[in-house]
Structure 1
């Protein structure tokens, strides 16, 4: 009964320490030192190895080391093996911090002030009260709900859009594609926290930008393929969008010379809005393993028909 970790090796060493402390009877291995493949029952990975079914004939659970699973090719994980996305609290905590930072930066015109500083220009910009800046969050799962909870404290009018209905205190919620235009028309700062699926790929496109109030801004902490780059740059050029904070891109790392690097109204970060924290992630994995052994429902289990 062995657990195999295949992701960032530096963090993997931390995982190993926590497993030795909290589950000394569960053997822990770091890829590529897999030992006997027949002993592997649990796999924690960012990108899983090929031929899972034949390589690990006794595999029982596969965990994504992150909150998303779009980096997985679902066809290589046999349907009888549960695929579990990471729900440990560190991911939500760091995502809330990042989105709060990004929303406040756009709300308080930080991108303009950075440009003014580079140009050595001292010019005031009129302050818009938070109560007049509407923030809309696309994706109201664990992370989206944590984000709107924190943003509420700043006094922003809050909206949320989701595939399925949600009810959240203090948030005007919309569900389904038919309600998306109404949601967008009331959103001054748009936050994308959607999972990447066939339905959401390219959703941040020219049609969507045209439905936002003129001069709206964007925070993308979903995935790079959500964004149609040519449509996005054109929207910035014509003033349909006033600025953006992007933590994700396609491809990653963003290549040298890409227009995002030098655009004065884009802030780019290297896909580190949130990170899995090893100590609490180990607790989550051990809890799911215990539930699996007892035959209970598994938190974070991916619905393969939806892709998340």
Structure 2
């Protein structure tokens, strides 16, 4: 069996093929001698499971996105999984900051205005920002927020591990006590059974009425109906969402057209943005697969990310 054969399925792209070759492996169609697999389709987790079952010689699978919730049923298979977690951190953090800035400056209102209107705005300078999640996106956000002198608290699963750049590192069990403190709450965490529905009506009722919510993680972390109710009741000043539940949202959904909500169609990391970044991750992990480097974005099946 050849030791350096890697397949790209179900669709191959020239950028990814070149990344495999730069990493030192040989590109091959899926076959009995292929030990490494680059999976490029997020929408077909069952097809990946079938391919793994049909190829017991596989040792490593590279998944295409940072979140691996769609592949939860495959993660117990006896292969090493790596994801793209951290690979798209810069553009997603940039998008989160954009949403926060646009909300504070009332852009949803101003882009539709036909008159001079009310003079109102919120500045993130010297603001209090709560980041839910301690991955690469939060790391980048702390860098981006530094010039604004924002005071940042990070909530993570393992609060004993201090998060660099955060004034406070706290556990999920402290979330309810921290939400009332924050001017901006930004969700960056992985979708797991623990975080599904994490931002519900009860927690939204803890927001300051002047505070904003931003979600660039996964839609089901924020309960859509609860968010609509909270916005209607004025429990928070607004929300910026790059993800939703369901996704995509149907035409005419109540999220559209609101003055207190910005909705972008999962464009924090578009194909044009991620292709180059995913190619870098492929090259890194091909090198690790061949014993010439360290794994990046290794998935923990028990944690679900």
For normalisation by structure 1, the TM-score amounts to 0.85
The match for 2:288 is 291
The match for 2:178 is 183
The match for 2:13 is 12
Cα distance between partner residues in 2 of 1:194 and 1:124: 35
The match for 1:159 is 153
TM-aligned CA deviation for residue 168 of structure 1: 4.1
Cα distance between partner residues in 1 of 2:164 and 2:103: 24
The answer to whether 1:83 aligns with 2:81 is yes
Cα distance between partner residues in 2 of 1:162 and 1:192: 11
The match for 1:44 is 38
Map 1:1-308 to 2 at 5 A. 1-6=4-9, 12-19=13-20, 22=22, 26-28=26-28, 35-45=29-39, 46=42, 47-48=44-45, 49=47, 50-73=49-72, 75-87=73-85, 89=87, 91-115=88-112, 117=113, 120-165=114-159, 166-168=161-163, 170-275=165-270, 277-294=274-291, 298-308=295-305
Deviation digits for residues 183-235 of structure 1 (CA, Å, limit 9, x no counterpart): 21111111100100000000110111111112321111111111111110000
Going from structure 1 to structure 2, the CA distance change for 1:190 and 1:23 (only over 3 Å counts) comes to closer
8 Å CA contact retained: 2:108, 2:258: no
Deviation digits for residues 225-259 of structure 1 (CA, Å, limit 9, x no counterpart): 11111110000001002211111112222112211
Cα distance between partner residues in 1 of 2:241 and 2:14: 30
8 Å CA contact retained: 1:60, 1:82: yes
Cα distance between partner residues in 1 of 2:25 and 2:289: 17
Higher relative contact order (CA 8 A, sep 6+): 2
Going from structure 1 to structure 2, the CA distance change for 1:62 and 1:249 (only over 3 Å counts) comes to same
Name the one with the larger helix percent.
1
Q: Structure 2: 5+ residue runs without aligned partners?
A: none
Deviates more, 1:45-54 or 1:57-66: 45-54
Cα distance between partner residues in 2 of 1:194 and 1:266: 21
Provide the aligned length of Structure 1 versus Structure 2.
294
SS in structure 2 at match of 1:153: helix
TM-aligned CA deviation for residue 78 of structure 1: 4.8
SS in structure 1 at match of 2:26: coil
TM-aligned CA deviation for residue 290 of structure 1: 2.6
8 Å CA contact retained: 1:187, 1:212: yes
Deviates more, 1:97-106 or 1:271-280: 271-280
TM-aligned CA deviation for residue 25 of structure 1: 5.1
Cα distance between partner residues in 1 of 2:83 and 2:135: 12
Deviation digits for residues 109-161 of structure 1 (CA, Å, limit 9, x no counterpart): 2223234x1xx120242444434532211102111111121112123222221
Deviates more, 1:273-282 or 1:213-222: 273-282
SS in structure 1 at match of 2:249: coil
The RMSD of aligned alpha carbons is 2.5
8 Å CA contact retained: 2:24, 2:286: no
